[in-house]
């Protein structure tokens, strides 16, 4: 059955009681890396007035998330996750609709997401939502001893 408004999935702002399951979901969806502490990412998001963390709840189970923020020029989406058992029901699309609405309400002209180059399934998901590869090259420099 496809997700539709009014179905058993609820979308709401992250609550501290969601923390353990949310981090578990991000691990299950391969969104974490050793150099990014998900607990610290959650803390930074909820303490920053220019960001928000939304979760999807099916029954009593947290099954999706999206973290969004604005850097003053563009909007960013992070940690878009849908539990593999609840994919292909429109949950990810609804989370992204919320992120786009959140950006529009703040008059953010562009929304972006970073996707690992080899994550073809996620690239396809964003493509179906009319997201296109940008015309910029990401460069980075580690300011700590971490190099991975």
Model pLDDT, residue 72: 86
User: Is residue 76 assigned to a domain?
Assistant: yes
User: Is residue 147 assigned to a domain?
Assistant: no
Banded pLDDT at 14 (limits 50, 70, 90): very high
User: Is residue 145 assigned to a domain?
Assistant: no
Model pLDDT, residue 117: 81
| Rounded Cα distance, 67 and 50, in Å | 11
User: Is residue 114 assigned to a domain?
Assistant: yes
pLDDT reading at 26 higher than 90:
yes
User: Is residue 140 assigned to a domain?
Assistant: no
Strands of 51-58's sheet, edge to edge?
Answer: 9-13, 51-58, 61-70, 75-82, 111-113
pLDDT reading at 2 higher than 60:
no
Give CA separation, 95 vs 13, 82, 92, in Å.
Answer: 11, 9, 5
User: Is residue 2 assigned to a domain?
Assistant: no
Please answer whether residues 74 and 109 qualify as being in contact, where contact means their C-beta atoms are separated by less than 8 angstroms.
yes
User: Is residue 103 assigned to a domain?
Assistant: yes
Paired residues of 33 in beta bridges: 36
Task: Read off the pLDDT of residues 56-67 as tens digits, 9 standing for 90 and up.
Answer: 999 889 999 999
What CATH number is given to the structural domain containing 34?
3.40.630.30
Q: How many domains does the chain have?
A: 1
**Domain assignment of residue 20, given as a range:** 9-128
Q: What is the DSSP letter of 131?
A: -
Task: Read off the pLDDT of residues 84-125 as tens digits, 9 standing for 90 and up.
Answer: 999 999 999 999 999 999 999 999 999 999 888 888 888 888
User: Is residue 142 assigned to a domain?
Assistant: no
Banded pLDDT at 7 (limits 50, 70, 90): low
Q: Is 142 helix (H, G, I), strand (E, B) or coil?
A: coil
Which of 75, 56, 57, 63 minimizes the C-alpha distance to 25? 63
| Rounded Cα distance, 73 and 77, in Å | 14
Percentage, residues of the chain above pLDDT 90 = 65
pTM: 0.86
Model pLDDT, residue 6: 44
Model pLDDT, residue 35: 87
């Amino acid at each position: 059955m496809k997700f539709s408004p009014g179905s058993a999935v609820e979308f709401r702002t992250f609550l501290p009681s969601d923390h353990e399951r949310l981090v578990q979901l991000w691990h299950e969806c391969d969104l974490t890396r050793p150099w990014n502490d998900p607990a610290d990412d959650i803390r930074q998001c909820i303490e920053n007035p220019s960001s928000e963390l939304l979760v999807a709840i099916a029954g009593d189970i947290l099954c999706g998330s999206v973290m969004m923020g604005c850097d003053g020029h563009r909007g960013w989406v992070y940690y878009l996750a849908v539990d593999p058992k609840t994919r292909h029901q429109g949950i990810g699309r609804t989370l992204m609709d919320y992120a786009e609405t959140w950006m529009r309400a703040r008059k953010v002209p562009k929304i972006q997401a970073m996707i690992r180059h080899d994550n073809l399934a996620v690239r396809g998901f964003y493509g179906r939502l009319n997201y296109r590869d940008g015309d910029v090259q990401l460069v980075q420099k580690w300011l700590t001893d971490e190099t991975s």
